[in-house]
Amino acid sequence: MVEKVISMKRTILTVDDSATVRQMVAYALKSAGYDVVEAKNGEDALGRLPSPLSLVITDLNMPVMNGIGLIKALRAHPDARYVPIVVLTTESEAAKKQEARAAGATAWIVKPFRPEQLTAVVQKVLG
Amino acid sequence: MPVRTESRWRWLRPRAASDGGGAFGAGETFSEIRRELTQAMASTEEGFLEAGGRLLDLRKAIDGAADGADSLAGLLSEGAGSLSALDQALLEAAGVSAYDEISRLVGDLHGRAHAIHGAIQNIEPIVRTFAVLAVMTRVESARFGGGSAAFAGLADSVRELSGQIAASAGASGASAKALLDSAAHLARRFKRLAAQREQSLGPLSRATGGQVRRRSAEQARVSEASDRIAARFRDISASAGDIVAAMQGHDIVRQQIEHVLEVLEGATAAGTTQLEAAQLDHSRVTFERSVTEIRAGLEKIETEAGQVAEESDRLFNERQEGPDAGPSQLESGLETVAAILGEHAAADRELAQVAQGLLNRLSGISGAVASVQSIGIEMRRNALNAAVQVAQLGSQGQALETIAAAIQALAHDVEQLSAKLDSESAGASQALSDLVDRAGEQSARSEERFERLRDGARRAAGVRRSAESVHGETKAAIAAIRADLRETIEAFGTHQACLAAIRRAGDVLRTAAAGDTNAGRDAWEAARSLYTMRSERLVHKAMAERESGVAVEAAPDGDNVEFF
- Judged by DSSP in three states, A91 sits in strand
User: What are the angstrom distances between the C-alpha of B409 and each of B126, B153, B383, B415, B511?
Assistant: 10, 19, 9, 10, 149
Question: Closest chain A residue to B50 measured between Cα atoms?
Answer: A20
Give just the sign of the alpha carbon dihedral B359, B360, B362, B367: positive
Query: pLDDT by residue (tens digit) across B502-543?
Result: 998 888 888 877 766 655 677 777 788 888 888 898 898 888
Evaluate if residue B457 carries a pLDDT over 70: yes
DSSP H helical ranges for B20-96: 30-94
Q: Is B534 on the interface with A (CB under 8 A)?
A: yes
Residues of B with CB below 8 A from A114's CB? 241-242, 244-245
Chain B CB contacts of A98 below 8 Å: none
Read off the pTM: 0.69
What are A87's strand-pairing partners? A58, A108
Torsional sign, CA A103, A105, A110, A113: negative
Residues facing residue B533 across a β-bridge: A91
B309 contacts: CB under 8 Å, gap ≥ 6: B475, B478, B479, B482
Sequence-distant (6+) residues with CB within 8 A of A36 are A11, A12, A13, A14, A25, A26, A29, A30
What pLDDT band is residue A37 in, cutting at 50, 70 and 90? very high
> Is the separation of the CB atoms in B89 and B452 below 8 Å?
yes
pLDDT recorded at residue B13? 41
What residues are paired with B343 via a beta bridge? none
Task: Return the residue in A3, A4, A27 with the most chain B beta carbons within 10 A, the one to mutate for interface testing.
Answer: A27
- How far, in Å, CA of B260 to CA of B254, rounded? 10
* ipTM of predicted assembly, 2 dp: 0.90
What whole-number percentage of chain B has pLDDT above 70? 88
What's the pLDDT at B17? 36
More confident residue, B266 or B270: B266
List beta partners, residue A85.
A56
Number of other CB atoms surrounding residue B96 within 10 Å: 13
Spell out which residues of chain A touch residue B556, defining contact as CB-CB under 8 Å. Answer: 93-95
Confidence check: pLDDT of A4 > 50: no
pLDDT at B1: 35
pLDDT tier at B111, thresholds 50, 70, 90 = confident
The pLDDT-based confidence of B74 (bands split at 50, 70, 90) is: confident
pLDDT at B8: 45
- What mean pLDDT comes out for the span B244-268? 85
Write the DSSP symbol of residue B374: H
Q: Do A93 and B556 touch (CB under 8 A)?
A: yes
- CA–CA–CA angle B426, B431, B435 (5° rounding): 145
CB within 8 Å: B532 and A93 = yes
Q: State the Cα–Cα distance between residues B210 and B10, nearest whole angstrom.
A: 91
Domain coordinates in residue numbering, chain A:
11-119
B558 touches chain A (CB under 8 A): yes
Rg (CA), chain A: 13
Give the separation between CA B527 and CA B203, rounded to whole angstroms: 91
Tens-place pLDDT, residues B543-560: 888 877 777 776 666 678
Amino acid residing at B312: S
- pLDDT tens digits for B159-174? 888 888 888 888 788 8
pLDDT, average across residues A1-17:
73
Task: With H, G, I as helix, E, B as strand and everything else as coil, classify residue B502.
Answer: helix
DSSP structure string for B163-181: HHHHHHHHHHHHHHHHHHH
* Residues of chain B contacting A94 with CB distance shorter than 8 Å: 555-558
pLDDT (0 to 100) of residue B518 = 59
Q: Please state, as a whole number, how many other Cβ atoms lie within 10 Å of the Cβ of residue A126.
A: 13
Is residue A97 within 8 angstroms of chain B, CB to CB?
A: yes
Total residue count of chain A as it appears in this document: 127
The pLDDT, as a whole number, for residue A76 is: 96
pLDDT digits (tens, 9 = 90+) for B95-106: 655 677 888 888
Residues B296-311: tens digit of each pLDDT: 888 988 898 888 888 8
**Chain A residue closest to B63 (CA)?**
A31
Do B53 and A23 count as a contact with CB atoms less than 8 A apart? yes
Whole-angstrom distance, CA of residue B279 vs CA of residue B262: 12
Q: How far is CA B255 from CA A59, B350, B532, in A?
A: 12, 92, 10
Task: Give chain B's mean pLDDT.
Answer: 80
Establish if B237 touches chain A: CB-CB under 8 angstroms.
yes
A110·B534 Cβ contact <8 A: yes
pLDDT value, residue A25: 96
Which pLDDT does position B152 carry in this prediction?
77
Neighbours of B62 (CB within 10 A): 27
Residues 6+ apart with CB under 8 A from A60: A66, A67, A68, A87, A89, A91, A96, A100
Asked if B505 and B24 touch (Cβ cutoff 8 Å), the reply is yes
pLDDT of residue B494: 63
| CA separation for the pair B448, B232 (Å, rounded) | 44
pLDDT at res. B267: 54
Average pLDDT, chain A: 91
Q: Could you tell me which residue, A4 or B175, shows the higher pLDDT?
A: B175
For the stretch A47-106, pLDDT in tens is 999 989 999 999 999 999 999 999 999 999 998 999 999 999 998 888 889 999 999 999
Q: Assess whether pLDDT exceeds 90 at residue B5.
A: no
Read off the pLDDT band of B463 (50, 70, 90): confident
| Stretch B312-330: mean pLDDT | 62
Helix ranges, chain A (H): 19-31, 42-46, 67-76, 94-103, 115-126
pLDDT category, B148, cuts 50, 70, 90?
Answer: low
Residues linked to residue B563 through DSSP beta bridges, in sequence order: A107
What letter would DSSP give residue A3? P
Side by side, which strands form the sheet with A35-39?
Answer: A35-39, A11-15, A55-58, A85-89, A107-110, B561-563
Strand-strand pairing, A55-58 and A85-89: parallel
Percent over 90 (pLDDT), chain B? 5
Confidence of residue A123 (pLDDT cuts 50, 70, 90): very high
pLDDT of residue B14: 34
Decide which of A98 and B149 is more confident.
Answer: A98
pLDDT tens for each residue of B414-452: 888 888 888 888 888 888 888 888 888 888 888 888 888
Q: What are phi and psi of B66, to 5 degrees?
A: -65, -40
8 Å CB contact between B260 and B284: no
Round to the nearest angstrom and report the end-to-end CA distance of chain B. Answer: 40
Question: What does the pLDDT look like over B6-43, one tens digit per residue?
Answer: 444 444 443 333 343 333 443 456 778 888 888 888 88
Output the pLDDT for position B269. 53
User: Domain A11-119 maps to which CATH number in 3.40.50.2300, 3.30.450.70, 3.40.710.10, 1.25.40.10?
Assistant: 3.40.50.2300
Which of B424, B440, B439 lies closest to B175, judged by CA?
B424
- Quickly count: other Cβ atoms within 10 Å of residue B490's Cβ: 8
